[in-house]
Amino acid sequence: MLKLTSLQASYGPIRAIDGIDLEVNKGEIVCLIGSNGAGKTTTLMAISGILKADAGDIFFEGGRITNLPAHEIVKKGISHVPEGRRIFPKLTVRENLQMGAYTLSSGKRAGTDEEGLIAKVFDLFPILRDRRDQMGGTLSGGEQQMLAVGRALMSGPKLLLLDEPSLGLAPIMVSKIFRTIREINNEGVTILLVEQNAKASLKLSHRGYVIESGAIALQGSGEGLLHNEDIKKAYLGE
């Protein structure tokens, strides 16, 4: 479904990823783990088009999407929940969700029921229903994360890119978010997950990639990586 071939991208003068090869199949949860600054976030940014790739290619459902503008990539069915959630602070919860459906109401997929989609997000995260007329910026961290995921689902994505969804959340919220990721996946959405919380994300994922200094160092099934001695030492603290 998604395929990266020798992808390179830079942050200013610094090459952040240097030849990433990665594949995500339809229906999978794939996680990308690695230490700070290894290039996880950069990889997602290159996929969703907010960072230009220097070299290499990105294919989605057989078509090349390398360096398309971000707003075109959303229309192809890739939704990105960026690091730090980036809720629109001065739009209400409802308006944030409506913005998530921005691509729907224009053009091809017209006639979709925005209200129905919002109701679905509210069913997934009931707390958002109570908060619907509150400004996004007034929500707690956990609520903002739910809103960020909900907003990304509004465009009806085929592939969801999640960047550090558990970062800065209380433990109870972390397990809630991970449960929800599985639920979303069960509904047929393919997921590429970037996480520092290697243990929880490997348990959740079908397959995983380990990224080190901008390149893939290791890959395997979630279960396999979880029991790999090197990974245990470096990322799981065992």
Partner 1 sequence: MLLQQLINGLTLGGVYAIIALGYTMVYGILELINFAHGEIYMLGAYLGIIFLGIFTSLGLTAANFPLALLLTVLMTVLFCSAYGFTMEKVAYKPLRNAPRLSPLISAIGVSIFLQNYVMLTQGATDKVFPYRYGETHIRFLSVDLTALQAAIIITSALLMTGLHLFQKTRMGKAMRATAQDKTMAALVGINVDTIISMTFIIGAGLAAVAGIMVASYYGIVNYSIGYMAGIKAFTAAVLGGIGSIPGAMLGGILLGLIESIGAAYISSEYKDVYAFIVLLIILLIRPSGILGGYSEEKV
Residues making contact with partner 1 (CB under 8 A): 48-50, 69-71, 74-75, 79-80, 82, 86, 88-91, 95, 98-100, 102-103, 105, 137, 151, 155
CA distance 229 to 225: 8
CB nearer partner 1, residue 124 or residue 135: 135
| Tokens linked to 28 | 């999978």
CA distance 201 to 92: 31
Return all residues near 69 (Cβ < 8 A) that are at least 6 apart. Answer: 49
| Tokens linked to 228 | 């790999």
Partners of 148 in the beta sheet? none
CA distance 202 to 179: 13
CB nearer partner 1, residue 111 or residue 171: 111
CB of 154 to partner 1, least distance (A): 8
CB nearer partner 1, residue 74 or residue 177: 74
CB of 9 to partner 1, least distance (A): 15
CA distance 52 to 8: 9
CA distance 123 to 31: 26
CB of 51 to partner 1, least distance (A): 10
CB nearer partner 1, residue 109 or residue 227: 109
Instruction: Tell me, rounded to whole angstroms, the distance of Cα 144 from its chain centroid.
Output: 15
CB of 175 to partner 1, least distance (A): 26
Residue type, 220: G
CB nearer partner 1, residue 145 or residue 228: 145
CB of 203 to partner 1, least distance (A): 28
